[in-house]
Amino acid sequence: MNFETIVFYMFAALIVFSALRVITARNPVHAVLFLVLAFISSAGIWLLLEAEFLAITLVLVYVGAVMVLFLFVVMMLDINLVKLREGFWRWLPFGAALAGLMAFEMIWVLGSHETSTGVVAVKHAADYSNTKELGRLIYTDYVYPFEIAAVILLVAMIAAIALTLRRRKDAKSQVVSDQVAVKKADRLRIVAMQSEKLVAGHPSERKD
Amino acid sequence: MMEAQILHFFQWFWDLFGLWDLMWGYIQPVWPLLWTVAKIFAIILPLLGAVAYLTLAERKVIGYMQIRIGPNRVGYFGLLQPIADGLKLFLKEIIIPSGSSKFLFVIAPIMAFAPALAAWAVVPFSEGMALANVNAGLLYILTMTSLGIYGIIIAGWASNSKYAFLGAVRSAAQIVSYEIAMGFALVCVLMASQSMNLTEIVRGQHGSLGALNWYVIPLFPMFMVYLISGVAETNRSPFDMAEGESEIVAGFHVEYSGMAFAVFFLAEYANMILIAFLTSILFLGGWLSPVPFLPDSFIWLLGKVSFILLLFLWFRATFPRYRYDQLMRLGWKVFIPLTIIWVVVIAVWMQTSLWVW
């Protein structure tokens, strides 16, 4: 067993452990943090495959942005754990069937002859850039699928915003551009007035 | 080259006792590891020293700007002040609040500090002087700086305090928003240099005209965006809403004391120095000399970094804290459209003959 294999099994064990903890952790925030650990470990496995662009992008997009927002939401929610655990036994057969189906699919795909034969991890020279290679493929051979995927994502994003955006009539907001564009003359009025004559003694003694 | 010299020295030393062959037999299998660890120490130790003295510089510079003297009691000109501060924080008790999530509370400062140090792995200090000359260096830096947020969020949540939680939520929203603008500014740089390798990016700015070859000329708006987003990313004034001592006491680190607090402080200053290095490398030519007749050297890089760090301190002394809605407006409605437009401008510009960088 060489060093790379040891590292692979270490990451794999870490992924399995953290994935199990995601569903068994009592606290939802802990569960999200275990999911982060699972993402980072799978990025490690991708690094072992010399797919450094995918690995770094996984950490950048999922860990650095998506999971931050996830954590953000989970921290703000008031989750009732007792209610979540209700009906565990009732739904167990359904969940087990689903899990079994997924496991079967994965074994079928990974064990089939189409995917198992001829796949040999090729070692590349030190100057090989995974990023450049990926960019070249995406923007030449796969440009149409790539653009279609991008458009679908854009549509989904706009649709999500359009569905959830509600303009409330009673909402108060500040118009920053108006605030920035304010002039001295808008706020301050200088009036020309005669200077008052000083009266000797206390103001209450004035007789006029 | 330096590696060979050091090995040669050890060989000479142990040969005095006639033990070199025996020693080398033991050391050879682990030598690459030892050499990498030595290089890591050669980066981390000066960095921690710089962090310590940056705190002194901050107090001195802001002091002079506000016509005060700043610390001047401990050592000449207060030069021993950072050591005294460190010692004080080191000896203080770390109080773990009741009802907090203890493991996360303790690990949060480490999670803030670790990415701030890990990002230095790919930073080149001079031609060929980098711990790891990685092809996807720019992406790695972006990733590492985006991980620092976890320390802040976890600290705010694990403290079991409303103020700390508010600070963490503010900080999370702020860092995620400014990261997009920062990322697009970096996209402009990598389009101009056609590489994500930081050493290659500096080489791309080399030319016969000195400072005119630097990317700050064609990418000036991106330089401004990057610098301002950098201030926001490090939670520095005027974007220090995460701390906001006038509103939420001290934000995410309100429950921290002693060394745990000090580690957050170290992370903030290490991140500041990192952003200063990156701005110098990406936009200001790194170690390249600004005039053609002087040689390129690490000294130039230090000079540029010091200038940008001075800007950080200057901002803090000058600007009042932003209001939160203004901060979000600046990030989403000003910087992101500006950077997207500039990406297109650069893409078109590079296809014409007017592109000379």
Q: What is the spatial distance between Cα A74 and Cα B190, in angstroms, rounded to a whole number?
A: 36
Q: What is the mean pLDDT of chain B?
A: 84
The pLDDT score that the predictor gives to residue A203 is 59
Q: By three-state DSSP, how is residue A200 classified?
A: coil
Whole-number Å distance between alpha carbons of B236 and A168: 34
Is residue B97 within 8 A of residue B162, CB to CB? The reply is no
pLDDT at A200: 64
Helix (H, G, I), strand (E, B) or coil at A157: helix
Res A151: pLDDT: 95
pLDDT at B9: 79
- Which residues, 6 or more positions from B106, have their beta carbon under 8 angstroms from its beta carbon? B96, B260
Q: Is 70 exceeded by the pLDDT of residue A191?
A: yes
Determine the 3-state secondary structure of A183 from DSSP: coil
Greater confidence, A58 or B241? A58
Rounded to 5 degrees, φ, ψ at A106 are -65, -40
pLDDT band at residue B291 using 50, 70 and 90 as cut-offs: confident
Among candidates B227, B254, B230, which has minimal Cα distance to B243?
A: B254
What is the C-alpha to C-alpha distance for residues B270 and A185, in angstroms, rounded to an integer? 45
- Given a cut of 60, is residue A205 above it in pLDDT? no
| pLDDT single digits (tens) B27-71 | 777 878 888 888 888 888 998 889 989 988 898 999 898 888 888
In this predicted structure, the answer to whether residue A194 has a pLDDT above a threshold of 60 is yes
| Mean per-residue pLDDT, B265-273 | 89
Mean residue pLDDT across chain A: 82
Query: Do B151 and B110 touch, CB atoms closer than 8 A?
Result: yes
- How far is the alpha carbon of A41 from chain B, nearest alpha carbon, in Å? 14
**CA B271, CA B141: separation in Å to the nearest integer?**
11
Residue B44 token pair: 């981390």
Condensed to tens digits (0 to 9), the pLDDT of residues B106-129 reads 888 898 899 988 888 888 888 777
pLDDT of residue A148: 94
Q: How is residue A88 written in tokens?
A: 């565990």
A1, amino acid identity: M
**Which tops the pLDDT comparison, A77 or B246?**
A77
Mean pLDDT of B137-142: 86
Separation between Cα atoms, residue B80 and residue B68, nearest integer Å: 19
Given this model, what pLDDT does residue A115 score?
60
Measured CA distances, A40 to A55, A66, B302 (Å): 8, 13, 34
Q: Do residue B140 and residue A56 have CB atoms under 8 angstroms apart? A: yes
- pLDDT score, position A150: 93
CA distance to B159, B168, B228, B347, per residue, from B156 (Å) = 6, 5, 25, 41
Pick the more confident residue, B278 or A169: B278
Residue A25 touches chain B, beta carbons under 8 Å: no
User: How far, in Å, CA of A166 to CA of A161, rounded?
Assistant: 9
Residue of A nearest to B142 (CA): A60
What is the spatial distance between Cα B59 and Cα B85, in angstroms, rounded to a whole number?
12
| Residue B18 in this model has a pLDDT that exceeds 70 | yes
For residue B167, give how far its alpha carbon lies from the nearest alpha carbon of chain A (Å). 12
> Rounded distance, CA B311 to CA B262, Å?
23
* Residue of A131, A136, A139, A182 best to disrupt the B interface, most CBs of B under 10 A: A131
Closest Cα of chain B to A126: distance in Å?
10
- CA proximity to B125, closest of B204, B195, B46: B46
Confidence band for A114, pLDDT divided at 50, 70 and 90: low
Confidence of residue A48 (pLDDT cuts 50, 70, 90): confident
Do A68 and B147 lie within an 8 Å CB cutoff? no
pLDDT grade, residue A202 (50/70/90)? low
Whether the per-residue pLDDT at A25 is higher than 90: the answer is: no
Q: What mean pLDDT do residues B118-142 have?
A: 84
- Residues A92-108 as b/e (b if ≥16 CB within 10 A, e otherwise) read eeeeeeeeeeeeeeeee
| Confidence (pLDDT) at A127 | 67
Least confident residue range of A8-17, A178-187, B275-284, B285-294: B285-294
8 Å CB contact of B135 and A52: yes
Highest mean pLDDT, choosing among A13-22, B15-24, B123-132: A13-22
Instruction: Please tell me the distance from the alpha carbon of residue A130 to that of residue A143, in angstroms, as a whole number.
Output: 18
pLDDT for residue B310: 92
Q: What is the mean pLDDT of residues B12-37?
A: 78
Q: From CA B121, how far away is CA B198, in angstroms rounded?
A: 11
Task: Note whether B206 and B229 are within 8 A (CB).
Answer: no
Look at A68 and B176 and tell me if their CB atoms are within 8 Å: yes
Confidence at residue A154, expressed as pLDDT on a 0 to 100 scale? 95
SS3 A49: coil
| Per-residue model confidence (pLDDT) at position B145 | 85
Q: Which of A56, A131, A174 sits opposite B325 (nearest CB)?
A: A174
Which residue in the block uniquely carries the two structure tokens 């990322």? Answer: B183
Q: Is the pLDDT of residue A185 over 80?
A: yes
- Tell me which residues of chain A, numbers 152 to 191, contact chain B at a CB-CB cutoff of 8 Å: 173-174, 176
Q: What is the dihedral of CA B336, B340, B343, B347, to 10 degrees?
A: 180
- The per-residue pLDDT for A69 is 83
Tell whether ipTM is more than 0.85: no
A65 in B contact zone (CB under 8 Å): yes
Contacts of B93 (CB under 8 A, 6+ apart): B257, B258
The pTM of this model reads: 0.83
The three state secondary structure string of chain B is CHHHHHHHHHHHHHHCCCCHHHHHHHHHHHHHHHHHHHHHHHHHHHHHHHHHHHHHHHHHHHHHHCCCCCCCCCCHHHCCHHHHHHHHHHHCCCCCCCCCCHHHHHHHHHHHHHHHHHHHHHCCCECCECCCCCCCHHHHHHHHHHHCHHHHHHHHHHCCCHHHHHHHHHHHHHHHHHHHHHHHHHHHHHHHHCCCCHHHHHHHCCCCCHHHHCCCCCCHHHHHHHHHHHHHHCCCCCCCCCCCHHHHCCHHHCCCCHHHHHHHHHHHHHHHHHHHHHHHHHHCCCCCCCCCCCCCCHHHHHHHHHHHHHHHHHHHHHCCCCCHHHHHHHHHHHHHHHHHHHHHHHHHHHHCCCCCC
Tokens of B254: 């309100």
Q: What is the pLDDT of residue A15?
A: 93
What three-state secondary structure class fits A202? Answer: coil
